[in-house]
């Protein structure tokens, strides 16, 4: 292969679409940086991205993406733009992922025949093992068969239909958008694809181990909501739920108690272990042969990590978080929103900050717990330190206890554009117009302060 280094020739290559001929059972893997875009069009055959089929002759635009387009029977793709990385892979785990989907379908059919809940599936594995991609694939395959799975995101480092820092649960009854990933929520504006209605809780910290006294109760609240939905919604009951998790709980036995908690609270009966022989062995010893609260056997299954999974460096992850926050307020390039700014007096706001237990002290205590009562939240005065931060508005009253605040779902988010200490005023950016509700707000350390969204 001849590599050309002349910059003038490079610019011509960018303008000329490239045709990729994919053979049966192969996938085209690509990475696109933030600030650049790549357009992909399916010219012939069939192909899918994370389980969602691409429409023929429709142009899809990708920005800041690391993804793979798979074909079962072969296809031709037209690609315009420059990828950071691109190559075609002949070996993929898609057959095993597809077999997993059909195994779950068999469980769903048995659940319908016996009037039980469908499988509650937990996906665990180390960082960058492809857990979220697998959950997307299984969700897409389920919806393509007319199922309505409930998808739970327990990874606060990456939001699902919400900003990072959130834990969410969402019922999926329509296809997953190829370009947007999980799709759009009501705050994202009108969309050709039906919007999702996520239940959102704000954790505000990057890892479960940062404050298990908040993380575990939030997981319990989500589990109660999912259980209630499964009882009330026949379609969701038949399908069950898919639970995505952070890699931190799979890296070291010190955090296995979080996995145990999630398995117990969600009555998980299928545990998919991705990309780690040691974790699979540990999970097998801990759960194989055990039963759920519904007296169902817990099955532990090992799946291979895709060769397309790559380590995402902190620069890429930070750009992804910034993009998610910007999208929440301003929408995407093809669907812009009109957020509203307003001046608010310090005295009009009640802001709490999430308490972060001293990790050094905690590590020295038996079980990793700090002695004595550590408050979950502390009241804070508005200050310049809040500039460019996001505040979560809770479904709670101003006088509610700390436990109620912890368990309250999120009404929405606002962005602190400016803080004027002299005038004691904040300039707030909200996704919709109108006065801020008289509700408590919570400031976390995650995500970190965003770039200046308002000039």
Q: Which residues are annotated as a binding site for ATP?
A: 27, 66, 128-133
How many angstroms separate the CA atoms of 350 and 381, rounded? 8
Q: Binding-site residues, please? A: 27, 66, 128-133
Return the bridge partners of 56, or none.
42
How many angstroms separate the CA atoms of 379 and 446, rounded? 17
How many angstroms separate the CA atoms of 266 and 268, rounded? 5
C-beta separation of 339 from 429 below 8 A: yes
The residue whose two tokens read 């005023």 is: 425
Which residues in 335-367 are b (16+ Cβ under 10 Å) and which e?
eebebeeeebebeebebbbbbebeeeebeeeee
108 closest CA partner among 1, 229, 242:
242
301 closest CA partner among 286, 288, 318:
288
The residue whose two tokens read 């001293």 is: 358
324 closest CA partner among 453, 194, 173:
453
The encoded tokens of residue 343 equal: 């001046």
Write the CA distances from 313 to 128, 165, 317, 375, integer angstroms: 10, 18, 6, 34
Ranges assigned E (strand) in 13-64: 18-22, 26-32, 38-45, 48-49, 52-53, 59-62
How many angstroms separate the CA atoms of 372 and 274, rounded? 38
The residue whose two tokens read 């053979």 is: 23
3-state secondary structure of 144: helix
Distinct helix (H) and strand (E) counts, the chain: 10, 25
């Amino acid at each position: 292969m001849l590599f050309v280094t002349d910059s003038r020739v490079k610019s011509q290559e960018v303008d000329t679409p490239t045709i990729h001929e994919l053979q049966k059972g192969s996938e085209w893997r690509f990475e696109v940086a933030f600030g650049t875009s790549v357009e992909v069009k399916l010219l012939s055959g069939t192909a899918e991205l994370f389980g969602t089929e691409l429409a023929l002759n429709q142009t899809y635009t990708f920005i800041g993406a690391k993804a793979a387009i798979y074909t079962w029977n072969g296809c031709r793709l037209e690609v315009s733009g420059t990828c950071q990385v691109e190559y075609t892979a002949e070996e993929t785990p898609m057959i095993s992922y597809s077999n997993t989907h059909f195994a779950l379908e068999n469980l769903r059919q048995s659940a319908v025949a016996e009037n039980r809940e469908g499988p509650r599936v937990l996906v665990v594995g180390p960082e960058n093992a492809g857990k979220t991609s697998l959950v997307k694939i299984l969700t897409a395959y389920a919806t393509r068969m007319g199922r309505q799975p409930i998808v739970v995101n327990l990874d606060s480092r990456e939001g699902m239909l919400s900003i990072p820092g959130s834990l969410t649960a969402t019922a999926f009854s329509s296809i997953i958008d190829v370009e947007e990933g999980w799709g759009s929520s009501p705050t994202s504006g009108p969309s050709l694809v039906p919007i999702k209605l996520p239940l959102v809780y704000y954790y505000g910290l990057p890892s479960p181990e940062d404050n298990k006294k908040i993380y575990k109760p939030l997981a319990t609240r989500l589990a109660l909501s999912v259980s209630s939905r499964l009882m009330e919604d026949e379609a969701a009951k038949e399908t069950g739920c898919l639970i995505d998790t952070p890699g931190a709980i799979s890296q070291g036995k010190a955090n296995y108690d979080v996995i145990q908690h999630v398995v117990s609270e969600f009555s998980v009966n299928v545990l998919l272990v991705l990309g780690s022989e040691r974790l699979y062995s540990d999970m097998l010893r801990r759960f194989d042969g055990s039963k759920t609260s519904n007296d169902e056997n817990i099955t532990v299954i090992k799946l291979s990590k895709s060769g397309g999974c790559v380590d995402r460096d902190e620069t890429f992850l930070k750009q992804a978080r910034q993009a998610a926050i910007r999208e929440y307020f301003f929408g995407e390039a093809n669907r812009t929103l009109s957020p509203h700014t307003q001046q608010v007096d310090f005295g009009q706001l009640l802001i709490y900050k999430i308490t972060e237990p001293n990790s050094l002290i905690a590590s020295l205590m038996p079980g990793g717990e700090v002695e004595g009562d550590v408050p979950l939240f502390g009241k804070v005065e508005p200050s310049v330190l809040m500039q460019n931060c996001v505040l979560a508005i809770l479904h709670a009253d101003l006088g509610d206890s700390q436990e109620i605040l912890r368990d309250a779902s999120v009404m929405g988010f606002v962005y602190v554009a400016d803080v004027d200490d002299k005038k004691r005023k904040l300039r707030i950016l909200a996704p919709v117009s109108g006065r801020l509700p008289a509700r408590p707000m919570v400031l976390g350390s995650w995500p970190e302060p965003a770039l200046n969204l308002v000039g």
